[in-house]
Structure 1
């Protein structure tokens, strides 16, 4: 790589002093991590902050962490406070409002926690909350309580402590065949530390699948290096799920990061959150799903936004979710349609509207155009008793 200067991705304005940096720096994920935006002064070099944004930044101080990588900041519209990237990254006054029914842990992490890091909610799989660090602290994070009061409430013991107890729990429960590393963002660790964790899991005979939940392909795709991908490929099967929420986040850099993962045999899925004012319309969501397919990312879940303390202002109605699902089904290829789910203490619950109704004459079916037909009993699959 040359040391030619990298121009900002968005159009420059004289009053904005975003840096022109050497290409080698821009391509180095550590450079971005060291230069994350964490205050009004730094943010003002990238965007024209509104009075409400400045008030929100002051209001979350000591309550919620926030930081933005220069890469992700470069995707923001400097003048539009409704920019979908900006809404996900810059604190808003809605975070400080109280909403009915909001909880700090609606998904039950603390309820199902078994060790310092292991959450065992489903019979055959667990999550390991291995860090509370993120390159960007997404304002809609369902685990926002983990970064409450700045010091965090994430771990029973210190994050940097031994993983022995966690690995021993998994080894002592051979029904666990699938482990998801999450946080925080697991890729915040250096490759060496991450490999220690992955290798420890791979050494457990009953662990078949290792998954990584990471938003680095979106927030800082430079982190997805050849070295990282080669390391992970030594411990297959390894899967990665990421978190694109808007077409604006799909860039040449993010597409290249996905391609590196795929070329090393690491499948990439996507878990989108339905967010008010960001992607809560059919056109945006349809574009997002088709663009994900173009870069070979499989849409996996569409999450209904959880009623999390500090996040509730992003919530839509379930009816809005149904409208969007109706706008996807039949209009894009079937494997491009995610499963619409609501995450609860009792698990992820599919909440898409059924496309059929049982009637005395059989099943009344409805397609994506609203056309209906009845499939009678003669056309339905035979039962075991009928086959005898």
Structure 2
């Protein structure tokens, strides 16, 4: 593959590279004035045309300025649950720590798209210490999720400082790092950055990828660098129209993760951020897609399909469902119905489990 060495960070670059039409310049400039644009070399090299599965994720589109009635700037309610800058505390036992609002690329469907961007900044030392002190003073919190922005855009020194500070808190038993870097900018995930992720307690990397082609040879090297340090890797994806909304494409994505020892964790229903309607896949369609894969892919590749309820009410699984308790039936992967015995056990004999 011909590797492209420079990132595209503006509309002029998009037009020059053939990823946008000059006739659309004014409309795209209006989009860029509101939402950040950055396409790193790893993603640029994968784009065959602007509307393909990779281009659609990162190339600005005039429709981003069309806001549907149900779309809001803070669709999952982060702001209402932020007691101090950089912290979101929605669940009793865990909290988000957002040390920066900078990413290696800017997804056109991002639920934090009103906040992230090159000018989103980093928590300065005083603000970071206030956030860490807040976490240190709440012993009911056992898990901290580093997010943003993308925590792996931090320098190794700063990331290590944060991980070590959290690791030193007796009540923090689990640290999660949520990142797009291994697929979006794998060259950033150096030995030094991987070293900075190491903790005495449990630390997990949760990788965001939406299409199998994102797992390039370079991405595989970056992922293995993390795994070599005994850091388990989970995968999360967003169900997106025109990106992964058919059975074959979704199956390829899940299988690509498992091949690299990444456990598919969440498949997210799209959050209703402004100007993202063109990516929307209805929940019932998402359920049908997953149901179509049941029995075709190993349970190792099976994610939980989830909806983050608007206004900060939490994340819940949304199917597909196989048991109808009221009717006393269970549906198998082929769609056939079977009777349930009292208490929910099947009347038929035991079968091998996969």
**Normalising to structure 2: TM-score of the pair?**
0.91
List runs of 5+ in structure 2 lacking aligned partners. Answer: 347-354
- 1:50 CA displacement: 3.0
SS class of match (2:251): helix
- Of 35, 57, 63, 1:94 maps to 63
Show the 5 A alignment for 1:80-229. 80-147=49-116, 151-152=119-120, 159-162=123-126, 163-229=128-194
SS class of match (1:167): helix
Determine if the alignment matches structure 1 residue 47 to structure 2 residue 14: no
Q: Does structure 1 conserve the Cα–Cα contact (< 8 Å) formed by 2:38 and 2:104?
A: yes
Q: Does structure 1 conserve the Cα–Cα contact (< 8 Å) formed by 2:159 and 2:197?
A: no
Q: Does structure 1 conserve the Cα–Cα contact (< 8 Å) formed by 2:211 and 2:250?
A: yes
In the other structure, the counterpart of 1:23 is none
Once residues 246 and 345 of structure 2 are traced to their aligned partners in structure 1, the CA distance between those partners, rounded to angstroms, is: 36
- Of 296, 318, 341, 1:351 maps to 318
Determine if the alignment matches structure 1 residue 62 to structure 2 residue 33: yes
Distance 1:253 1:151, change over 3 A: closer
- 1:56 CA displacement: 4.4
SS class of match (1:217): helix
Show the 5 A alignment for 1:192-271. 192-271=157-236
- 1:371 CA displacement: 1.2
SS class of match (1:105): coil
List runs of 5+ in structure 1 lacking aligned partners. Answer: 1-6, 10-17, 19-25, 27-34, 382-388
Determine if the alignment matches structure 1 residue 8 to structure 2 residue 2: yes
- 1:336 CA displacement: 0.7
Once residues 378 and 269 of structure 1 are traced to their aligned partners in structure 2, the CA distance between those partners, rounded to angstroms, is: 34
- 1:113 CA displacement: 0.6
Once residues 239 and 47 of structure 1 are traced to their aligned partners in structure 2, the CA distance between those partners, rounded to angstroms, is: 38
Once residues 283 and 56 of structure 1 are traced to their aligned partners in structure 2, the CA distance between those partners, rounded to angstroms, is: 34
In the other structure, the counterpart of 1:284 is 249
Once residues 331 and 97 of structure 2 are traced to their aligned partners in structure 1, the CA distance between those partners, rounded to angstroms, is: 41
- 1:233 CA displacement: 2.1
Q: CA RMSD in A?
A: 2.0
Q: Deviations over 1:339-383 (max 9, x none)?
A: 0001121111111132011246xx3010110011102217739xx
Structure 1 runs (4+) deviating above 4 angstroms are none
Show the 5 A alignment for 1:334-349. 334-344=299-309, 345-349=312-316
Once residues 282 and 10 of structure 2 are traced to their aligned partners in structure 1, the CA distance between those partners, rounded to angstroms, is: 33
Q: Deviations over 1:101-139 (max 9, x none)?
A: 101111110011111111111110000111011111111
Once residues 199 and 303 of structure 1 are traced to their aligned partners in structure 2, the CA distance between those partners, rounded to angstroms, is: 30
SS class of match (1:145): coil
Q: Does structure 2 conserve the Cα–Cα contact (< 8 Å) formed by 1:306 and 1:312?
A: no
